[in-house]
Amino acid sequence: MSSAELIRIVSRSSPMALAQVERVRAELAALHPGIRTEVVPVTTSGDRWMGDLAQLGGKGAFTKEVDAALLAGEADLAVHCVKDVPADRPLPAGTVFAGFLKRDDIRDALVHPAGRTLDELPAGARIGTSSVRRRAQLAVSHPHLECVPMRGNANRRLEKLADGEADALLLAVSGLERIGRPDLITEILPVETMCPPIGAGVLGLQCREDDARTIDIVSGLGDADAWRETTAERMFLHVLQGHCNSPIAGYAKAERDGRLSLRARVFSPDGKTVLDAHEWAGPLDPATLGTSVAVALLRQGARELIDTIPH
């Protein structure tokens, strides 16, 4: 085989990130049997830093080193959890999303060693999470529970749970499935209780925009519904201009008949203020739907609410 048939894939080096790359490699092998792939793992500043992400500039801490490797030509393709890719600003100049894989489960899951549900937990039970989105929504639905800061990849957080640093964890269903531990799930929370983050359950394929060969090869892995849903969600967040300490949640859903809806919510950190919008696209394209929902929340005071939150 010639070197032209090799695609180098850069990714975070966590077990979950590498499992996500293996999915991409398997799908690429099925679609293009002649293509070889190799993995270029990097450890990001977000993986190394266990403190407040705001001190590193927010979610971009998980993508900066990956972007740098791609732009430097050290890799041809980056695989991202879209929820970790900042949407309040454009992708790094010179890069583009070539496609989004078919979406996985968007919901959150409770992991409790004794198999209890959220409703069964006693007052003061400690829930391990550093997500402002989860903390705000728990304050709404289960104000008697206590959130304790917990960062690190899913495997590390499970170790902290086993060490007694929390009584239960909130993790993404898709994440637990990707690391092969769905058996640990004791309750899957409905989106009405725990609205997911923007881009939940979606893996994005990022390339250099001038690399037509790689874009052509990997774009065939893309899912049309995931593209429409993710486009609407990321445009919503871009217009809203939320920062990493803003409790913002939302998800778009493409129906079989072609309709597209987007529901989004903005919270105060204590959950006492909740702004809600839900619209159907009708003739609107996904980006216009995302803009429309953001404007609806801005009319309700989302800008003022977000700007009062320190970051």
- Rounded to whole angstroms, the Cα distance separating 271 from 211 reads 45
In this structure, are residues 230 and 199 in contact, taking their beta carbons and an 8 Å threshold? Answer: yes
Adjacency order of strands within the sheet including 248-254: 248-254, 260-267, 274-280
Catalytic residue from among 84, 88, 104, 167:
84
Taking alpha carbons only, the member of 261, 260, 263, 290 closest to residue 276 is 263
For residue 74, count other CB atoms closer than 10 A to its CB.
Answer: 12
**CA atoms of 129 and 121, how far apart (whole Å):** 16
Give the Cα separation of 27 and 65 in Å (integer): 25
DSSP summary character for residue 186: S
Establish whether 270 is a catalytic residue: no
Q: Which residues are catalytic?
A: 84
